[in-house]
Amino acid sequence: MEEIIRIQKPVTFDESIAHSEVHAHQPFASSTFGNNDEIRISVQNQNECVLPEKSSLHIHGKVTKEDYSMVAATKLVNMAVCHMFEEIRYELNGVEIDRNKNVGITSIMKGYLSLTPGQQRGLENTGWLSVADINLADDAGNFDVVIPLRYLLGFAEDYCRVVVNAKHELILTRTNTDLNAVLQTNTTEKFKITLKKVEWLLPYIKLADKPKIQLLNYIAKDSAIPMSFRSWETYVYPTLPSTTRHVWAVKTSTQLEKPRYVIMGFQTARKNEALKNASEFDHCRIRDVKLFLNSQCYPYGNLNLDIYNNQYAILYDMYVQFQTSYYNKEAEPLLSKSEFIKRAPLIVIDCSKQNKSLKTGPVDTRLEFEASVEFPRNTAAYCMILHDRVVEYSPISGTVKKLV
């Protein structure tokens, strides 16, 4: 209440930034972006002050038949462009600081959890299709999207400061097949996806005189600048056995990379299958899921799900509470309860609160899950782990160190 009576408070304007402009950086070899190719985009000018958080990938391409005629039974799925890349890496001064493997699945899982209904109108421009019958490409097969880097890398989502006096590189690796990027009504139609343009739109920040002098005085000391963010890792169990109960030893992580959130999803006969939408998940009549970090169990109680009898309120509540815990804000879930179980019945396990027994030594991550019926044939399981990472870089010497 004190603020409303401070009538003597002067008016202030934030004029610390004198100018901001977005520069488009193209790959070294811009003539070919075929399957299995590596696309390397480099920012060589180290004297600039850049803001990776607000950067984006601009991708333009075309889907046609193999003879370059128009397709009739092939359309692009939700975030199809992400399914066209196997991996994306961000390097600072030649040192990898963040990586996203299985770009399509990872970005889709993270998007279902993090996006809000208020973002719906702008999401189509990124390739996110809120309704299944929307076609990303036009009648001639052309598509054009701008994907914010924060939808692809934890570094760009969490680190909200400028990076000064450093060499930046973004490396993308194309998948060996584009089957996951399309949905076909007739698999006899042979399609071809051609990427015509891939560029990195990176904001350059020019400071006003006073903050510029302060910044230069600070970096002249060559003090190590810490960068903290949450990295995303996705692990795949390609084919689950036909049982009702399974144990998956996902990974053994160091103390510094222990999980904070674990998200699990299932897909039946969707991987590299053009008749199935690779951007949607199946519930597989899951009954219970337990995450074990060494001997510590999450969640504490059993889920006791029965999806066929409409008993999955706990599962949806875990999905909703992710935004509250992860972003420390009121939850605004992208999916309604009915949409959730139909399109993305993801199991979200919050293990961010950990006791002392997990603060020393390596951490074994193990998932134990049970279904009401046997898992169908060709069912793949995905485990997305969100964990802390801290990197330090020195702007003068150029050294980059991973602390966590």
190-217, pLDDT tens digit by residue? Answer: 999 999 999 999 999 999 989 889 998 9
Q: What pLDDT is stored for residue 139 in this prediction?
A: 87
Confidence band for 29, pLDDT divided at 50, 70 and 90: confident
Query: Tokens 């128009």 appear where?
Result: 70
Q: Is the pTM of this model over 0.75?
A: yes
Q: What pLDDT is stored for residue 372 in this prediction?
A: 94
Segment 180-185 shows an average pLDDT of 90
CATH number at residue 330: 2.70.9
In a domain, 99, yes or no: yes
* Domain interval for residue 133: 19-226
Give the separation between CA 338 and CA 353, rounded to whole angstroms: 30
Domain C-terminal end among 175, 199, 226: 226
Q: Residue 110: what are its φ and ψ, rounded to 5°?
A: -65, -35
pLDDT, averaged across the chain: 90
Asked whether residue 140 falls in the same domain as residue 266, the answer is no
Confidence band for 30, pLDDT divided at 50, 70 and 90: low
In a domain, 6, yes or no: no
What sign for the dihedral angle of Cα 67, 71, 75, 81? positive
Q: What pLDDT is stored for residue 97 in this prediction?
A: 93
Segment 172-179 shows an average pLDDT of 93
- In our burial notation (b when 16+ CB lie closer than 10 A, e otherwise), range 125-153 reads ebbbbbeeeeebbeeebebbbebbbbbbb
Q: What pLDDT is stored for residue 152 in this prediction?
A: 96
Question: Which of 84-98, 228-242, 264-278, 305-319 shows the lowest mean pLDDT across its residues?
Answer: 264-278
Confidence band for 255, pLDDT divided at 50, 70 and 90: low
User: What is the Cα 308 distance to its own chain's centre?
Assistant: 30
Give the separation between CA 389 and CA 259, rounded to whole angstroms: 11
**Any idea what DSSP says for residue 271?**
T
Contact 371, 244 (CB under 8 A): yes
Segment 120-146 shows an average pLDDT of 86
In a domain, 139, yes or no: yes
